[in-house]
């Protein structure tokens, strides 16, 4: 881990052209307790994860500083690339470093003698698309040289005592919990990012660092020159540095669109024939208070796409814009048959919009209007495709949160796709804030109104409402469901059997719907596959849903009829008593 791992000048990361190198020496110390590493992933991970550099300076006085440094660098560079693509770089880095910190702190607690802890500084840089993500703890540093200006991008976590002595105030392994400095900054062609341990920057002035960076074009030669200069300046510590030179930046990716949501202007309503960033508008496909969708054609490639823009009504709505950016970010992280596919723009955007594949067909809301009383088997077939789309989201720890007939699209070839991820929640994505009911209230599980924890079973509830509506044209709990805000409100509602509205629905099918529509998440199915299985065939463990008793359905009518019957009986008895007996 202490050896230099140069990156080829021809290496390209997500469209960027970069050169990187590193160097590390023991210097005047008998042992090198620094650790450093660079990882350039395989092609399949380059776009989603980027390139990562990590550098750690083990605290020699702790006894296990070298081990701590190596564990952190190795752990970060290996585990970062296994985190879900739906996690932001910030979330992935912070979770990994928090776990590594807890492990180091736990190891240190096993030793009772003094100076036997596992402590290390840590600095990492993740370059993805047009952004550099920085993580920092301790007194190692990250610098950037841009347009002749050398700027430190991190702040030391150390206190100086006297002229020659400093003490770390923050390091991995020092406490059970650690505060990680995180920063994201833009990347431009020509940028040079430098990571150094204190054995280098404590003995070389910023002016000297800048001179060596600016006059040594080869990254490996520059790293060696920096260590030579620090050693010559009297450094008595280990010497380590890493250098990343950005020769060209990539086209913006979905992460960059999050930042653009706060900087790019909203587009006006577009008309057929207009040209936007090389995309010719052909027709408006859909419009509502939240967004507009247009069919566009790429003037260069001829590809037909869907272009979606936020409504002008969202101009001052930070939450709506954040959700729009997250929809773009999520859409480009899934390439699955039953999910709408996001498309990365080929050119820089001059306005705020996202691109998706252009679908031909109709939503299930339109399909239901043409099939007001469909067969249960047809609805079960649609449910199977919807479940596969939801499972693809759930495997990446994403909840759709706005499942309804309007957001399920049936293509001409019979493929069902989940669309509109604007209300979706990605675990750890650090994106749009959570709402009580991010989607339509009539389809949302009770957990949202009651502010309870929610998981995949919330999407199961919304799917079940959708299936019930396709079969019956009504809501399983009636029109008052959307106005429920408390547990008491929900308890006043009763499930109406789908069989009462559609006699073609089998009792066992209705029983499966009722279970998935339970107000308590724990009473629903543990998995969507179980729900799907019970829709396909009877489950003996489920009791068929019986029709509600007359007393529950119409208590006033029940008591009126009962009163009339009792009155009739009483009159009959009176007549019988008053009638003379036959002689």
The answer to whether residue 161 scores a pLDDT higher than 90 is no
Instruction: Quick: pLDDT tens for 294-303.
Output: 999 999 999 9
- Flag the least confident range among 4-13, 227-236, 252-261: 4-13
Under 8 Å CB-to-CB from 428, ≥6 apart: which residues? 84, 86, 87, 88, 91, 92, 95, 397
Question: How does 373-402 read in b/e, with b if 16+ C-beta sit within 10 Å?
Answer: ebebeebbebbebbbbbbbbbbebbbbbbb
Do residues 119 and 171 touch, judged by C-beta distance below 8 A?
A: yes
Q: Which residue has the higher pLDDT, 110 or 500?
A: 500
Which pLDDT score is estimated for 307?
A: 97
Which pLDDT score is estimated for 479?
A: 93
Q: Which residue has the higher pLDDT, 268 or 88?
A: 268
Instruction: Quick: pLDDT tens for 111-146.
Output: 544 455 789 999 999 998 888 999 999 999 999 999
Burial class from Cβ neighbours inside 10 Å (0-12, 13-18, 19+) for residue 42 reads exposed
Which pLDDT score is estimated for 322?
A: 81
Q: In sequence order, what DSSP letters do the residues of 360-409 get, joined into one string?
A: -EEEHHHHHHH-SS--HHHHHHHHHHHHHHHHHHHHTTEE----SGGGEE
Segment 238-267 shows an average pLDDT of 77
First to last CA, the chain: 120
Alpha-helical (H) ranges within 171-283 are 198-201, 206-215, 219-232, 254-260
Instruction: Quick: pLDDT tens for 193-214.
Output: 999 999 999 999 999 999 999 9
- Flag the least confident range among 112-116, 239-243, 245-249, 516-520: 112-116
Q: In sequence order, what DSSP letters do the residues of 95-148 get, joined into one string?
A: HHHHHHHHHHHHHHTT--STT-B--B-EEEEEEETTEEEEEEESS-EEEEEETT
Which pLDDT score is estimated for 165?
A: 73
Do residues 516 and 524 touch, judged by C-beta distance below 8 A?
A: yes
Domains for the chain: give ranges and CATH numbers: 12-250 (3.60.40.10), 255-357 (3.30.200.20), 361-548 (1.10.510.10)
Among residues 498, 463, 484, 315, which one has the least CA distance to residue 393?
463
Segment 373-378 shows an average pLDDT of 93
**β-bridge mates for residue 21, sequence order:** 243
Share of the chain above pLDDT 90, in %: 64
Reading phi first (left if > 0) and then psi (alpha if -120 to 50, else beta), residue 452 is in beta
SS3 of 262, please?
coil
Strand 275-276 versus strand 279-287 pairing type: antiparallel
Cα–Cα distances (Å) from 51 to 11, 41, 65, in that order, read: 11, 7, 26
Cα(51)–Cα(243) distance, rounded to whole angstroms? 13
The answer to whether residue 289 scores a pLDDT higher than 60 is yes
Which pLDDT score is estimated for 577?
A: 72
- Per DSSP, the chain holds a count of helices (H) and strands (E) of 17, 24
Cα(153)–Cα(136) distance, rounded to whole angstroms? 10
Cα(299)–Cα(74) distance, rounded to whole angstroms? 46
As given in the structure block, the two tokens for residue 341 are 């596919």
Which pLDDT score is estimated for 580?
A: 67
Torsion of CA 280, 285, 288, 292, to 10 degrees: -20
Cα–Cα distances (Å) from 376 to 407, 468, 474, 498, 540, in that order, read: 20, 10, 15, 11, 18
If residue 240 lies in a helix (H) or strand (E), which one and from where to where? strand 239-248
Burial class from Cβ neighbours inside 10 Å (0-12, 13-18, 19+) for residue 307 reads buried
Burial class from Cβ neighbours inside 10 Å (0-12, 13-18, 19+) for residue 535 reads buried
Which pLDDT score is estimated for 573?
A: 76
Cα(139)–Cα(101) distance, rounded to whole angstroms? 16
Which pLDDT score is estimated for 432?
A: 44
Cα(117)–Cα(105) distance, rounded to whole angstroms? 8
Among residues 117, 406, 130, 146, which one has the least CA distance to residue 290?
406
Strand 416-418 versus strand 304-310 pairing type: unpaired
pTM check: above 0.85: no
pLDDT band at 568 (very low <50, low <70, confident <90, very high): confident
Which pLDDT score is estimated for 550?
A: 53
Q: Which residue has the higher pLDDT, 85 or 53?
A: 53
Under 8 Å CB-to-CB from 347, ≥6 apart: which residues? 251, 277, 278
Do residues 471 and 381 touch, judged by C-beta distance below 8 A?
A: no
Cα(114)–Cα(255) distance, rounded to whole angstroms? 46
* Total residue length of the chain: 583
- Flag the least confident range among 102-106, 540-544, 554-558: 554-558
Cα(437)–Cα(272) distance, rounded to whole angstroms? 35
Q: In sequence order, what DSSP letters do the residues of 300-369 get, joined into one string?
A: TT--EEEEEEE-GGGTT-HHHHHHHHHHHHHHTT---TTBPPEE--SS--SSB-EEEEPP-EEEHHHHHH
Do residues 12 and 129 touch, judged by C-beta distance below 8 A?
A: no
Which pLDDT score is estimated for 253?
A: 56
The answer to whether residue 6 scores a pLDDT higher than 50 is no
The answer to whether residue 436 scores a pLDDT higher than 60 is no
- Count of alpha carbons within 13 Å of 481, Cβ hemisphere only? 23
Do residues 117 and 111 touch, judged by C-beta distance below 8 A?
A: yes
- CA-CA-CA-CA torsion sign (494, 498, 501, 503): negative
Mean pLDDT of the chain: 87
Which pLDDT score is estimated for 437?
A: 65
The answer to whether residue 40 scores a pLDDT higher than 90 is no
**β-bridge mates for residue 375, sequence order:** none
């Amino acid at each position: 881990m202490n050896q230099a791992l140069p990156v080829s000048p021809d290496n390209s990361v997500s469209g960027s052209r970069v050169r990187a190198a590193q160097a590390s020496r023991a210097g005047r110390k008998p042992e090198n307790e620094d650790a450093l590493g660079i990882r350039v992933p395989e092609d399949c991970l380059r776009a989603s994860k980027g390139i990562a550099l990590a550098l750690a300076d083990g605290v020699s006085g702790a006894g296990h500083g070298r081990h701590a440094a190596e564990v952190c660098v190795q752990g970060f560079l290996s585990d970062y690339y296994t985190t879900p693509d739906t996690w932001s770089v910030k979330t992935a880095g912070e979770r990994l470093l928090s776990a590594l910190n807890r492990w180091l702190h736990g190891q240190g607690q096993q030793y009772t003698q003094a100076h036997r802890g596992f402590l290390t500084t840590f600095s990492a840089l993740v370059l993805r698309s047009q952004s550099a993500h920085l993580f920092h703890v301790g007194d190692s540093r990250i610098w950037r040289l841009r347009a002749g200006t050398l700027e430190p991008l991190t702040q030391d976590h150390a206190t100086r005592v006297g002229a020659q002595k400093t003490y770390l105030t923050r390091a991995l392994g020092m406490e059970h919990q650690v505060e990680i400095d995180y920063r994201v900054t833009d990347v431009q062609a020509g940028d040079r990012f430098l990571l150094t341990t204190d054995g280098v920057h404590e003995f070389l002035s910023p002016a000297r660092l800048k001179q060596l960076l600016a006059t040594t074009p080869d990254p490996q030669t520059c790293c060696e020159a920096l260590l030579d200069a620090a050693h010559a300046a009297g450094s008595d510590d280990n010497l380590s540095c890493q250098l990343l030179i950005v020769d060209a930046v990539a086209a913006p990716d979905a992460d960059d669109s999050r930042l653009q949501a706060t900087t790019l202007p909203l587009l006006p309503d577009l008309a057929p024939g207009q040209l936007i960033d090389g995309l010719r508008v052909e027709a408006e496909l859909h419009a509502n208070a939240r967004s507009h969708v247009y069919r566009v054609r790429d003037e260069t490639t001829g590809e037909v796409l869907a272009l979606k823009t936020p409504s002008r009504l969202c101009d001052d709505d930070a939450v709506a814009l954040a959700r729009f950016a997250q929809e773009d970010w999520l859409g480009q992280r899934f390439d699955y048959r039953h999910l709408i596919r996001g498309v990365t723009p080929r050119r820089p955007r001059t306005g705020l919009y996202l691109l998706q594949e252009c679908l031909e067909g109709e939503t299930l809301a339109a399909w239901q209007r043409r099939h007001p009383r469909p067969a249960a088997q047809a609805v079960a077939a649609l449910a199977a495709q919807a479940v596969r789309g939801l499972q693809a989201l759930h495997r990446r720890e994403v909840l759709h949160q706005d499942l309804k007939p309007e957001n399920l699209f049936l293509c001409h070839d019979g493929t069902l796709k989940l669309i509109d991820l604007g209300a979706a929640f990605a675990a750890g994505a650090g994106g749009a804030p959570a709402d009580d009911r991010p989607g339509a209230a009539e389809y949302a599980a009770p957990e949202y109104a009651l502010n309870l924890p929610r998981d995949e079973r919330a999407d199961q509830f919304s799917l079940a409402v959708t299936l019930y509506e396709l079969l019956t044209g009504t809501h399983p709990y009636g029109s008052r469901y959307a106005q429920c805000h408390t547990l008491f409100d929900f308890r006043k509602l009763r499930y109406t059997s789908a069989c009462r509205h559609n006699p073609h629905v089998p009792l066992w099918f209705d029983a499966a719907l009722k279970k998935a529509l339970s107000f308590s998440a724990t009473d629903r199915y543990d998995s969507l596959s179980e729900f799907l299985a019970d829709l396909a065939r009877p489950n003996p463990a489920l009791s068929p849903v019986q029709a509600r008793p007359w007393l529950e359905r119409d208590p006033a009518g029940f008591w009126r009829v009962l009163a009339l019957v009792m009155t009739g009986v009483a009159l009959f008895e009176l007549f019988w008593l008053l009638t003379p007996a036959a002689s």
